[in-house]
Amino acid sequence: MNKTVCRGLFLVALIAAAGLRFGRLDLRPMHHDEANQAVKFGALLESGQYAYDKADHHGPTLYYLTLPAAWARGQKTLAALDETTLRIVPALFGLGLIALFLFLTRAIGRGAAAGAAFFAALSPALTYYSRSYIQETLFAFFAWGFLIALGWLFVKPSGGKAVAAGVLAGLAYATKETSVLVFAAAAAGLLIAWISSRPGSPGRRRLPSPVHGLAGLAAAAATAYLFFSSFFKNPRGIIDSLTAFKDYAARGTEAGLHSQPWNYYLKILAGTRSEGIFWTEAVILGLALAGAAAACLGFKKGTTLPEEYAGPDAWSRVFWLRYLAATTILLSVIFSALAYKTPWNMVPFLAGFAVLAGIGADALLRAIRPQTARAAVAVLLLAGAALLVRQNLMANIRYPADPRNPYVYAQTSPDYMRLVDRIRDVADFHRDGKAMLVKVIADPGEQWPLPWYLRDFTRVGYWTGLAEAGEMTGTPVVVASQEYAEIIEAAAGDSFQAAFYGLRPEVVQTLFIDRELWEGFLKSRMTGPRKVLKP
């Protein structure tokens, strides 16, 4: 494959990825994790202040890298923000992840790199989490940028590559603490690839020097410190990031709410059926296995090599294949071994599966000599790509918040938006408007994403118990979890109009609206012109 064709295929892959990632970013209600991140970013946007919280939220890169998007859209306050501004950031990094594979064209061949770009572009899971305001897509971008830079450092050592690998490692660490798992897998993958690619192979080069190692470590440490210290405003942040490992290690190994079996991720990718809907990324998984097999076999006498791997570069080809395959497989094993699992945690190694799928597709087309058989394989690959497109549209456009979607996890129900709309409706009618008092009584996990959706209200209080919230009677609006709803209803008698709304699967909240306010609101709807309720 010549350079022009390769670039053209990459451009098509990027266009397809952009269409899938940027369209209708506000279609899905905000997940409670997204809302939490959004409110934290809002504080940074308004005050310029940020301090790393080792108990939660992960690293700071997501917040700082969202600032340019907010500035570009002229949004300077939390109230002014919207879902598009926030979600466009991971969408851009999802696009960037695909563009990164351009740096693999000399490593694994142009055909394999172009294939990797297409599989990453069409993967329903990679698309879904590129449309979510969480760290995963940024983490995958920085992690794979680091893995690619590290591979090139070992193939053709230089100070520039060492610093690039270090900066990207620092950014990955400043994004998610689980970056240490990527570093461990990369080290083991390098070792496996270096030893197995035969010391005497043509084109084999020396290892990077200690100077390169020191330069990379210094760049990584400086980058991580810059972000964790909030650009020197919070020097202790980097220490907090190190002490956080104890909590994250416990969370990853102990059974809990998010504990899943070892094959949780593989089952999602291989195929699941939910109420008659079948979901699968088996095309990527199957071709990734073929790519891993090609990496293990290497190139024997008579094997057709890509034109860019003639002569001494043959060793580089085998090294790259085995490095990428070993690192991806190790990452998938490590993440699968952890008890703590959420579907978005598979994003880093799923990106690796996309790379291996590109290698596998390229290897199959090269291994088959008869033109008719090769054409048949190409048709099957196109059919697989079409299936991925269909699955992508189902996951991200048709069923983006449906519990039957395997990428949906504790997702806010569309029904909850009716609760939000009702609060806004009565606020428009109430004399105080968005300064109307709203009391929310629920456990912390059930309070979100309401702080995001009521971000422009000025008198919203959040409590975890009734005693702290005070008297309910006379409060215009109360939102309560089921734990407290019956108590409130019993105590308030008929002074409230109650309605029930689904927050997420198996979690229901009750909206209480002062009866006089509610009846006045209904009357105003029937009579037409808006009438403000008098005190």
Assign 3-class secondary structure to 358-371: HHHHHHHHHHCCCH
- Whether the pLDDT of residue 36 is over 60: the answer is yes
Residues 262-266: contacts with CB within 8 Å, 24+ apart? 262/336, 262/337, 263/336, 264/336, 264/341, 265/332, 265/335, 265/336, 265/341, 265/343, 265/345, 265/346, 265/349, 266/332, 266/336
Classify domain 416-527 by CATH number: 3.40.190
- Whether the pLDDT of residue 523 is over 90: the answer is no
H or E stretch including 205? none
pLDDT, average across residues 238-262:
76
What confidence score (pLDDT) does residue 112 get?
94
Dihedral through CA 16, CA 19, CA 20, CA 22, nearest 10?
140
Of 406, 380, 411, 401, whose CA–CA distance to 391 is shortest?
Answer: 406
Residue type, 389: V
345-395 pLDDT tens trace? 999 999 999 999 999 999 998 888 888 988 998 999 999 999 999 999 999
- Whether the pLDDT of residue 52 is over 80: the answer is yes
What confidence score (pLDDT) does residue 533 get?
45
pLDDT, average across residues 425-447:
93
What confidence score (pLDDT) does residue 303 get?
46
CA distances from residue 116 to 12, 37, 94, 181 in whole angstroms, order as listed: 13, 31, 14, 23
What b/e string do you get for 125-138 counting C-beta neighbours within 10 Å, with b at 16 or more? bbbbbbbbbbbbbb
* Range with the poorest average pLDDT among 77-86, 300-309, 367-376, 501-510: 300-309
What confidence score (pLDDT) does residue 252 get?
62
What confidence score (pLDDT) does residue 296 get?
87
- Whether the pLDDT of residue 310 is over 80: the answer is no
Of 316, 391, 324, whose CA–CA distance to 355 is shortest?
Answer: 324
- Model's pTM, two decimal places? 0.92
pLDDT-derived band of residue 307, with 50, 70 and 90 as boundaries?
Answer: low
Domain boundaries, the chain: 3-398, 416-527
pLDDT-derived band of residue 242, with 50, 70 and 90 as boundaries?
Answer: confident
* Angle at the Cα of 26 from the Cα atoms of 447 and 395, rounded to 5 degrees: 95
The neighbour count for residue 211, using CB atoms within 10 Å, is 11
* Range with the poorest average pLDDT among 248-262, 447-461, 462-476, 478-492: 248-262
H or E stretch including 509? strand 507-514
Residue 196, helix vs strand vs coil: helix
- Whether the pLDDT of residue 454 is over 60: the answer is yes
131-177 pLDDT tens trace? 999 999 999 999 999 999 999 999 999 999 999 999 999 999 999 98
**Rounded mean pLDDT of the chain?**
90
Q: Token match 């702080």: residue? A: 451
The Cα–Cα gap between 80 and 86 comes to: 11
What confidence score (pLDDT) does residue 145 get?
97
What confidence score (pLDDT) does residue 301 get?
44
pLDDT-derived band of residue 535, with 50, 70 and 90 as boundaries?
Answer: very low
In what side-by-side order are the strands of the sheet with 438-441? 460-463, 438-441, 477-481, 507-514, 496-504
Of 275, 281, 268, whose CA–CA distance to 408 is shortest?
Answer: 268
Q: Taking a C-beta distance cutoff of 8 angstroms, is the pair 396, 143 a contact?
A: no
Q: Taking a C-beta distance cutoff of 8 angstroms, is the pair 118, 13 a contact?
A: yes
Q: Token match 């209803």: residue? A: 489
H or E stretch including 230? none
What confidence score (pLDDT) does residue 534 get?
44
What confidence score (pLDDT) does residue 201 get?
57
pLDDT, average across residues 433-456:
95
Pairing of strands 277-279, 272-274: antiparallel
Listed in order, strand segments (DSSP E) in 253-391 are 272-274, 277-279
- Whether the pLDDT of residue 467 is over 80: the answer is yes
Residue type, 338: L
Which residues have C-beta within 8 Å of that of residue 504, sequence separation ≥ 6?
32, 410, 411, 412, 413, 416
402-433 pLDDT tens trace? 999 999 999 999 999 999 999 999 999 999 99
- Whether the pLDDT of residue 255 is over 70: the answer is no
pLDDT, average across residues 40-55:
92
What confidence score (pLDDT) does residue 1 get?
76
The Cα–Cα gap between 466 and 469 comes to: 5
286-299 pLDDT tens trace? 999 999 999 888 65
* Angle at the Cα of 478 from the Cα atoms of 473 and 482, rounded to 5 degrees: 110
What confidence score (pLDDT) does residue 473 get?
82
